[in-house]
């Protein structure tokens, strides 16, 4: 079986005036479908840069990225957008909900952008609202929701297109411990259903829940550890 993600020789250099910042240097990484990976490391070590690259929001300066066996670095912007739409779900630290849209509309947004018919959208959104315990919050706007509810809306949005992988950049960073725990459980449930889950986190305890931990430092992988069983 081909790996879901294959990175080889990835370089990402940011040019800041005269100096060059090597956010990622000579990075090789393989992730199989269905894995649960935590990316950890000090601030500035390149975790977000890696995640953006995996999500096709950013491009490497060198190296190749194969997603489901296909080289995606050479795809046209339109094709990359389609891959983002169909295969990738994002969860951000600061939720990134559209403030003027209701919870239901935010969840439906990827489907709206993909041109899915309204009745199909309606069907899936209703299910998602129920699944994430937001049924009575459907017509609330983000500023009328708690942080945990907002992140649940964001997770519902990330999964509504049934992607192959979910990329979460510090999804619990803006939440208290109990709510963060909730959110983690939801994400892990998704992983249990077969969705590949990649989480960036500073929290060693949360990171330890993943079956695989990537430790980054100065733009390169220092350690790649696998734990066999999850503590819960």
Partner 1 sequence: MRLPDLIGFARGAAAGNPLRTALLILAMAIGVAAVVVLTALGDGARRYVVGEFSSLGTNLVIVLPGRSQTGGFNPGNAITNTPRDLTVDDAQALLRASAVRRLAPLAVGTSEISVGGKLREVMVAGTTAEFIDVRRLELAQGRFLAAGDWRRGANEVVIGAKVREELFAATPALGQLVRVGDRRFRVVGVMAATGQGLGMNTDELVIIPVSLAQAMFNSNTLFRILVEAHSRESIEPAKTQVTDIIKQRHEGEEDVTVITQDAVLATFDKLLGALTLAVAGIAAISLAVAGILVMNVMLVSVTQRTAEIGLLKALGATAATIRTAFIVEAAMLSMTGALIGYLLGEGGAALLRQLYPTFPAYPPDWAILAGLGTALVTGILFGVLPARQAARLDPVLALGRR
Ligand X SMILES: Nc1ncnc2c1ncn2[C@@H]1O[C@H](COP(=O)(O)OP(=O)(O)OP(=O)(O)O)[C@@H](O)[C@H]1O
Identify which of residues 129 and 213 has a Cβ nearer to partner 1 in the complex: 129
Scan for tokens 């947004």, then name that residue: 109
Binding-site member from 124, 137, 152, 157 for partner 1 (CB under 8 A) = 157
**Per CB under 8 A, which of residues 193..222 are in contact with partner 1?**
none
Does 48 sit near Mg ion (CB under 5 A)?
yes
Binding-site member from 113, 130, 135, 204 for partner 1 (CB under 8 A) = 113
Does 161 sit near partner 1 (CB under 8 A)?
yes
- Of the candidate spans 27-35, 46-54, 111-119, 209-217, the one that interacts with Mg ion by CB under 5 A turns out to be 46-54
In the complex, the smallest distance separating the C-beta of residue 51 from partner 1, rounded to whole angstroms, is: 10
193: three-class secondary structure by DSSP: coil
162 binding partner (options ligand X, partner 1, Mg ion, none; Cβ < 5 to 8 Å by kind): none
Which residue has the CB atom at the shortest distance from Mg ion?
48
For 17, other C-beta atoms within 10 Å of its C-beta total: 5
What share of residues in the chain are helix, strand, coil (percent, to 5)?
35, 30, 35
Sign of the torsion formed by the C-alpha atoms of 32, 36, 41 and 43: positive
Angle among Cα 222, 44, 167 to the nearest 5 degrees reads: 80
Strands 36-40 and 212-217 come out as parallel
Identify which of residues 3 and 81 has a Cβ nearer to partner 1 in the complex: 81
Does 77 sit near partner 1 (CB under 8 A)?
yes
Six token digits for residue 173: 């960073």
CB distance 111 to 160 below 8 Å: yes
14 binding partner (options Mg ion, ligand X, partner 1, none; Cβ < 5 to 8 Å by kind): ligand X
Task: List contacts with Mg ion (CB under 5 A).
Answer: 48
């Amino acid at each position: 079986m081909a790996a879901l993600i294959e990175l080889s020789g990835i370089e990402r250099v940011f040019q800041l005036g005269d100096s060059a910042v090597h956010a990622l240097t000579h990075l090789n990484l393989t992730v199989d479908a269905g894995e649960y990976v935590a990316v950890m490391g000090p601030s500035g070590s390149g975790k977000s840069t890696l995640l953006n690259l995996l999500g096709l929001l950013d491009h490497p300066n060198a190296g190749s990225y194969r997603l489901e066996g296909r080289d995606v670095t050479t795809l046209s912007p339109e094709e990359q957008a389609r891959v983002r739409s169909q295969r990738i779900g994002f969860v951000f630290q600061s939720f990134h909900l559209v403030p003027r849209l209701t919870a239901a509309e935010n969840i439906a947004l990827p489907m709206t952008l993909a041109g899915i018919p309204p009745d199909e959208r309606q069907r899936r959104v209703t299910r998602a609202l129920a699944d994430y315990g937001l049924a009575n919050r459907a017509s609330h706007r983000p500023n009328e929701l708690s942080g945990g509810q907002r992140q649940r809306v964001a997770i519902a949005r990330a999964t509504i297109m049934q992607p192959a992988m979910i990329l979460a950049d510090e999804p619990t960073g803006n939440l208290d411990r109990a709510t963060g725990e909730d959110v983690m459980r939801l994400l892990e449930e998704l992983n249990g259903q077969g969705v590949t889950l990649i989480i960036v986190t500073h929290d060693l305890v949360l990171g330890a829940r993943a079956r695989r931990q990537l430790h980054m430092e100065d733009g390169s992988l220092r350690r790649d550890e696998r734990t066999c069983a999850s503590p819960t």
